[in-house]
Structure 1
Amino acid sequence: MKNNIGIWIDTHQAVVINLSNGDQAVKKIESHIDTKVRTPGESKKYGRFGGQYMTYEKNSENKKMEQTKQFLKILSNEIENCDAVVLFGPSIMKTIFEKEIKNDLNLIGKLVGVFDADSMTENQISAWVKDFYKK
């Protein structure tokens, strides 16, 4: 009774393919990471708080990091009960998630590979995961 998972991941979404006992389940998870946001009042290069200056750039970077952490936490919960997981996709998000998995002692032994892949349709993603686990 193997429970293998393949995750195609980029900055906007992750497609989780769960192969269990010959059955296939597909789940799309949106990241909700704001990549290009214009904050109202962002015309100045700094905001003044007492004697300190804080850039809007730093605020948006902190917001993006927090949104990324939330996205990866959701994905970590998805792979908690699997036997093996493979990551693939076009962006650097797969590498960030790989580091997150390697830092979690419960998940480190489940990662079987990280691969580069182009943008794919849902059917192509499913076929890629099936081919990977046939090997």
Structure 2
Amino acid sequence: MEHYKQVGVWIDHSKAHLIGFKSGQARLLETVESPYESVRRVEGEGNDMTRFSSSPEYSSNNEYKKHQIVQNEINEYMRIMEQKLVSFEDILLFGPGTMKERMKNRLREKKAFEGKWLSVEDSDKLTDNQLVAFVREFYKKEGV
């Protein structure tokens, strides 16, 4: 497999597409699925109210547990992405939502990513061909 120094990562909460860039050419390297589930359905699960009241004022700690599960899944996803990105020198993070910013902030905190070039761009959902074209045009424009 070719070794790429530059990568574009289209990322959101459900998946990430890694697109390598080398010698003016971009290529989809892999897709990483996130362990994060936005809507979790547990069979037989009731509502989040307490047994004594149906008022939202008296909610249970079930919401706290759900939040912790979501945070653990997102942290696991970002850990997986760190391992995938550590070998690249130039990293472009792009996509909809806030995940690209969260990922950039996490990479900035890690010693393994010191001195590496990180950039963040906004984009919508794109087809595979549009992803490759986006990365190719970005790196050609940057002249990196």
**What TM-score, normalized by structure 2, do the two folds share?**
0.80
Deviations 1:77-113 (A, max 9, x none): 1111111001000011111101101111221432331
Map of 1:103 onto structure 2: 109
Query: How many residue pairs are counted as aligned between the two chains?
Result: 130
| Distance in 2, Cα, partners of 1:77 & 1:58 | 29
Q: 1:23 to 1:122 in 2, by over 3 A?
A: closer
Matches within 5 A, 1:83-122: 83-122=89-128
> Which residue, out of 11, 26, 30, partners 1:27?
30
Structure 1 runs (4+) deviating above 4 angstroms are: none
- Percent identity reads 24
- 8 Å CA contact 1:46–1:56 kept in 2: the answer is no
Unpaired runs of at least 5, structure 1: 48-52
8 Å contact kept, 2:36–2:70:
yes
Q: Which has the higher strand share?
A: 1
SS at match of 2:93: strand
1:50 corresponds to: none
CA RMSD of aligned residues (A): 2.2
8 Å contact from structure 1 (residues 84, 110) kept in 2: yes
Q: TM-score when scaled to structure 1?
A: 0.85
Q: Distance in 2 between matches of 1:26 and 1:2?
A: 10
Contact 2:6 2:90 (8 Å CA) reproduced: yes
Structure 2 spans left out of the alignment, 5+ residues: 52-58
Deviations 1:1-38 (Å, cap 9, x if unpaired)? Answer: 86101000011100011224557342000102011113
Secondary structure of residue in 1 paired with 2:21: strand
Answer yes or no: is the 8 Å Cα contact 2:90–2:116 preserved in 1.
Answer: yes
3-state DSSP class of the match of 1:85? Answer: strand
Distance, in Å, in 2 between the alignment partners of 1:46 and 1:110 is 50
